[in-house]
């Protein structure tokens, strides 16, 4: 099974600042996704990270707030910009790709637990 | 659009009790159905899945049957353990959805000794 590393695992940030979350996979993957899990809520898809091009954002999420990069087939970053307490959530990276367990639609990282003061 | 509805939580049970967590769905096409589990401080892990009507997914003593007629995929376990304490998510994906998953709200299960 793929090893998906997310950094940082948790952080506490001041409002108005920005934080970049990294997702590193130990094998090449075809698709990478970013989700948000607000306290007591389900996972909501933020965007699909596209290699070499702009991410595809879901309704309610915009690039200015959540810029995403994916420079290659094993790495992606999500930035949470100009943070407010409402951005306090768990942010999860997930991947799909050849060589991964085909029984699973997506493989998830352990998430980044973000608190905004 | 696609949606997944889970019963309200949290759920607290004693060890060895019987567990049922309800999940119903609406979807266009023929979805595949999943249960994910999130242990404290960890990411999501696939618990079990079913890809067509009447399929039963099972893993670690948990079971769920894909019921097309009731659009349901209820999770059951005959005897829960303290180590089953976690958040459980029901989810679906549909053909052509580009692997996108639609999740339910999740339910927290606490099992006391």
Query: Which pLDDT tens digits describe chain A residue by residue (117 residues)?
Result: 678 999 999 999 999 999 999 999 998 888 899 999 998 788 999 999 988 889 999 999 999 999 999 999 999 999 999 999 999 999 999 998 776 666 677 889 999 999 999
pLDDT at B8: 85
pLDDT of residue A99: 64
Res A1: pLDDT: 63
* Residue pair B7/B76 in contact by the 8 Å Cβ criterion: no
Smallest CA–CA distance, residue B55 to chain A, in Å, is 14
Closest to A21 (Cα-Cα) out of A30, A32, A29: A32
- Is the pLDDT assigned to residue B42 strictly greater than 90? no
Using the predicted structure, report yes or no on whether residue B99 has a pLDDT greater than 90.
no
- Greatest extent of chain B over all pairs of C-alpha atoms, in Å: 44
Q: Does B88 score more than 60 pLDDT?
A: yes
pLDDT band at residue B28 under the 50/70/90 scheme:
confident
Q: Are A79 and A20 in contact (CB under 8 A)?
A: yes
Looking at A59-63, A100-104, B42-46, B48-52, which range is the least confident one? A100-104
Residues of A in contact with B42 (CB under 8 A): 110-111
The predicted structure's pLDDT at residue A96? 86
User: What pLDDT sits at residue B43?
Assistant: 84
- Would the CB atoms of A43 and B44 count as touching at under 8 Å? yes
Cα–Cα dist B80/B62, whole Å: 9
Mean pLDDT, chain B, as a whole number? 92
Q: Do the Cβ atoms of A41 and B42 come within 8 Å?
A: no
Residues of A with CB below 8 A from B106's CB?
A: 41-43
Identify all chain B residues contacting A31, using CB atoms and an 8 Å cutoff.
Answer: 98-99
Contact B102, B4 (CB under 8 A): yes
φ and ψ at residue B96, rounded to 5 degrees: 85, 0
**Chain B residues touching residue A104 (CB < 8 angstroms):** 46, 49
Cross-chain residue pair A42–B105, CB shorter than 8 Å? yes
pLDDT given for residue A75 in this prediction: 96
Q: What is the per-residue pLDDT for A30?
A: 86
Q: What are phi and psi of B83, to 5 degrees?
A: -70, -10
Tell me, what's the pLDDT at B40? 87
Please give the backbone phi and psi of residue B82, each rounded to the nearest 5 degrees, phi first: -55, -35
The reported pLDDT for the residue numbered A41 is 83
For B86, the enclosing helix (H) or strand (E) is strand B86-93
Give residues 49 to 88 of A whose Cβ lies within 8 Å of B.
none
How many Å apart are CA B83 and CA B62, to the nearest integer? 13
């Amino acid at each position: 099974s793929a090893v998906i590393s997310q950094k940082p695992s948790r952080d506490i940030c001041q409002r108005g600042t920005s934080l970049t979350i990294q997702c590193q996979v130990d094998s090449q993957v075809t698709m990478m996704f970013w989700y948000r899990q607000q306290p007591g809520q389900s996972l909501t898809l933020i965007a699909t990270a596209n290699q070499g091009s702009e991410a595809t954002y879901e309704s309610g999420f915009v690039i200015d707030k959540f810029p995403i990069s994916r420079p290659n087939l094993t790495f992606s970053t999500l930035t949470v910009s100009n943070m407010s307490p409402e951005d306090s959530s768990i942010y999860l990276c997930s991947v799909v790709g050849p060589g991964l367990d085909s029984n699973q639609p997506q493989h998830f990282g352990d998430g980044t637990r973000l608190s905004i003061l | 659009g696609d949606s997944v509805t889970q019963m309200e939580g949290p759920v607290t049970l004693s060890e060895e009790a019987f567990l049922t967590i309800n999940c119903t769905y609406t979807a266009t096409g023929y979805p595949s159905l999943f249960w994910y589990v999130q242990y404290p401080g960890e990411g999501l892990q696939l618990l079990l899945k079913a890809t067509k009507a009447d399929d039963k997914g099972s893993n670690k003593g948990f079971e769920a049957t894909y019921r097309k007629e009731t659009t349901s995929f209820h999770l059951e376990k005959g005897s829960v353990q303290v180590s089953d304490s976690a958040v459980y998510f029901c989810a679906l994906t549909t053909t052509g959805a580009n692997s996108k998953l639609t999740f339910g709200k999740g339910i927290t299960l606490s099992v006391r000794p």
